[in-house]
Every structure is written in structure tokens, then in C-alpha cells.
A and B are shown apart, each in its own frame.
Chain A
Amino acid sequence: MSRRGTLAALATLAVAGAAAFWLVTRPSPLPAAAVPTHQVDPRNGETLYHAGSCLACHRPPEGAGDRSLPSGGTPFPTPVGVFYPQNLTPDAETGLGRWSEIDFVNAMRLGLSPDGRHYFPAFPYASYRSMAMADLLDLRAYLMSLPAVRSPSREADVPLVSLARRGVGLWKRVAFRQPLFSPEPGRTPSWTRGAYLANAPGHCGECHTPKDWLMVADPSRPMAGGPHPGGEGKVPSLRGLLARKKYKDVDDLVLALQNGETLGYEHLSSGGMAAIQENLARLPESDVRAIAEYVLSLE
């Protein structure tokens, strides 16, 4: 082939490759008709808000406003780059004020922004996509009931951020092949509730389940622990906690989740778990107990 011919072939390949990338990473949001008629219950939404520890990541940085509200902006460092969680208060300009129900569902289920771009999976939608539709709508209703705070979004500090963001579409093709959470037959209602809270809104597996080389949770080793996503130290396994004598019984783990280190459970204030524990402590006791039952059943 002549040199010109080679160049032309390479150029054609590059164009074809870019077109293929563009096609397979194309976001496909759900249509508004996917939202069912539902009488919202903001109190249930508040429970899910605490179960998901939304505030742990979405609170403002120290000294930058009311830290009891999820107005976002606290840097979330990962080995990939630094992310700045979004403002979840109903501010029209900078928060969720103008988001419709389907916008919220698309964010939580598919990791898509209202303008149709991929969110980086530091926002753990791979877990949230297992949440029930009614729970998503209730959670949105609770967020919309909070005071609005102005706090503009900030783009992630990631190399080649636009390309990387588009590339998340590829990652989703692999990550979304994982089965959604589904109840196990023969379990008690409390265990099932705990398993749902821990896996879907609670997204415990985002840190406690080891990831494969594509950063997708390994379904064969749920909650088995692994390297800390922050890059330093390890996340403990949640399996065999009773056999390894980490906790005596369900009551013991309930007290641990409700009180953390204020009752001497020092393992619960390490690697970011302190903020999670504080949020879980706000759940109704029956839900904390359900999570404890589920976690202690992991062998």
C-alpha cells in the first residue's frame, strides 16, 4: 500500500473507532412516562436519606455553611481524581429545585444528569439502581422539603474530564450487567429489609465489597472487604463477624451502629465510617436491627 493509502486507512479506522465509542457510550435516559403514579411519603424518604448516609458525602466543607444540610462541595478524593458532590437541596439554580421526578430517577437508577451526561460512579448509583421506584420518589420528596442552599456544582478534577465522563458509558455497560438486589426466599421480613437497606440505599458494598480490575464490585465476594477506595489502608470484611468474635450478637451490633465510638466501638471511627455510623444512628431502631441481622448473617 502507498503511504497515502496507509494514512487514509488509519484515518478511517480512527473515525470508525470514535464513532463506535460515541455509540456505545451514548446515554439512554428513561422517559417521563416511566414514573408511576405515587402518593409520596417524605418521612419514608427521610429514612432512606439516613440509610444512604447522603449527608456523609454531600455536606458542605467545614466552615462553608450548615453542615446538617446536603449542599455539597466537600472534596471526595479517590485514586482516579477528586470529586465534588452535588448540592442536593432544592435551590433552583444550583440544587435539585428544577429537577423533575424523572430527572431524579435517571440520576439514581442510571447515573445520568438532567442534561443527559454520565455521572462518575463515585456517586454510587450502581447500588442505588436497586432501590424501589416508590423509595426514590419518597427520597426526592424529602430532599425537596429541605431548606434551599445556594452552592454551585464544581467539575471533577480528573484528567481529560469530558472524555473520561463519556467513557463512563462503557463502564456502565459492564457494571449494569450485575444483577439487581432481590430478596432471598425463606428469609424473615426483617432480614430482607436489612439486606435491602444495606445493599441498595446503604451502598455498603461500594467500600466493603472488593472490586475487580474494571472497578466493578465482585459478585462472588460480597462484603468481603478490600483495599480502601481512598487509597490508604483496608476496608474490613463484614463476613463472619460473629465467628471472628467482632460482635457478640445482634444487640451488640445494634449498639455499635447507634453509638459508634461514643460507646467504645473504636472500629467504627476509621476510614470514613464515623460519618456513616452517625447517619445510620438516625434510622428507626427496627431498621438498624434489620441491618445488623443481615450483616451478622454473612458467613
Chain B
Amino acid sequence: MRLSKPAVASLVVAGLVLGASLAVVAADAFQERHMAMEMVGDAMKPLAAIAKKEAPFDPAVVKANATTIADHIKKASALFPAGSGGGESRAKPEVWTDAAGFDKAMKDAQAAAVALQAVSDEAAYRPALGALGATCKGCHDKYRIPKQ
């Protein structure tokens, strides 16, 4: 097949536009998931303060922060499109090469945060927070590179 010059030119332009949009989508995904993870980190602080006895146990505080965490982990889970690693991102290639394992780790974290929402008794609090922290830790250890 012979293509006319204008056809070739439009194909090239279309390719460039597509490539650029994919790059923008990937960059946006990184920014958005990074923000979501920062929200998770911020919500962990009052929860850790309770476990460290720096703040009193308050089921309302627990519920609110555990809900923030569950929602933002869910949000972040959907923000790892292929090609959004590298650069500023600390995501290891394993996020995509072991997508099933990564997906399970994110689902486990979300489930642990949901379980924490319902904790109303102080004795059950520490183990439930520990279980959530362990899911964060397991995933970070496996799928996150050290800070640059």
C-alpha cells in the first residue's frame, strides 16, 4: 500500500499525540496515587498516636481515619497504569510484572482498613492496627524502591 504524504503526516501526528497523552495519563496517575498515599500516611498518624498512648482511644477517630485509609487505598489501586513507573515514582517494576501479587497486596490493605473501621473496643484496637500496618509494610517492602 502506498500512502500519500498528508496521510503519513497525519499518522505521525496522531502517533505523537497518542504517545504524549499516554505520558500525561501516566504522569497524572503517578501524581494522583502519590497524593492518595500521602492521605493514607496522614490518616495513620492519629491512629499510631492512640496505639502509642499519646492520644485517648476514641472509636469515632478510629472510624474516620480507617475510612479515609480504606477509600484512598482503593483509589490508589486503580492508579497504576502500565508505564507509570520510573522517574519520581518509587514503584518497582514488580508492580506490573507481578500484577496479581500487587493487586492482592492492595486488596489485603483495603480489607484490613475496613476491618479497623468497626473496632469499638480498645483491647482489639492494637492488633487491628498492627494487621493494617503489616499489609502496608508487606507491600512497601516488596513493591517500593528506596527513596532517591
Residues in chain A within 8 A of chain B (CB atoms): 228, 230, 232-236, 255, 259-266, 268-272, 274-275
Contact = CB atoms under 8 A, between A and B. Distances in A.
The 6 closest A-B pairs by CB, nearest first: A233-B146, A262-B133, A271-B146, A261-B137, A264-B48, A274-B141
A234 B137 contact: no
Interface in B23-78: 41, 44-45, 47-48, 51-52
Given A233-B146, A269-B141, A270-B140, A264 B44 contact: yes
B141 A270 contact: yes
Given A261-B134, A270-B146, 5 more contacts: A230-B146, A233-B145, A262-B130, A262-B133, A262-B137
Contact of A261 (B47, B136, B147): B136
Nearest to A263: B48
A260 B145 CA distance: 17
Specify the main secondary structure of chain B where it touches its partner. Answer: helix
A262 B112 CA distance: 12
13 contacts: A230-B146, A233-B146, A234-B148, A260-B133, A262-B134, A263-B52, A266-B140, A269-B140, A269-B144, A270-B145, A270-B147, A271-B145, A274-B140
Contacts of B141: 269-270, 272, 274-275
A275 B142 CA distance: 11
Interface residues of B, number: 21
A271 B92 CA distance: 11
Nearest to B133: A262
B106 interface: no
A227 to B, nearest CB: 10
Contacts of B48: 263-265
Contacts of A260: 133, 137
B129 interface: yes
A232 B90 CA distance: 10
B144 A270 contact: yes
A271 B137 CA distance: 11
A261 B148 contact: no
Nearest to B139: A269
A80 B97 CA distance: 24
Contact of B147 (A230, A234, A255): A234
Nearest to A277: B137
Contacts of A255: 52
A207 B148 CA distance: 15
Contacts of B41: 264, 266
B133 A263 contact: yes
A228 B146 CA distance: 8
Contacts of B47: 264
B146 A235 contact: yes
Contact of A236 (B52, B130, B144, B147): B147
Contacts of B137: 260-262, 268-269, 274
A240 B76 CA distance: 33
A230 B92 CA distance: 13
A36 B68 CA distance: 60
A21 B91 CA distance: 44
A234 B144 CA distance: 12
A268 B136 CA distance: 11
A259 B145 contact: no
Contacts of A232: 145-146
A250 to B, nearest CB: 14
Nearest to A228: B146
Contacts of A259: 130, 133
Contacts of A230: 146
A274 B141 CA distance: 6
Interface in B120-139: 129-130, 133-134, 136-137
A230 to B, nearest CB: 8
Most A CB contacts (10 A, CB to CB) among B44, B51, B140 go to: B140
Contacts of B147: 233-234, 236, 270
A234 B146 contact: yes
Nearest to B44: A264
Contacts of B148: 233-234
Contacts of B90: 233
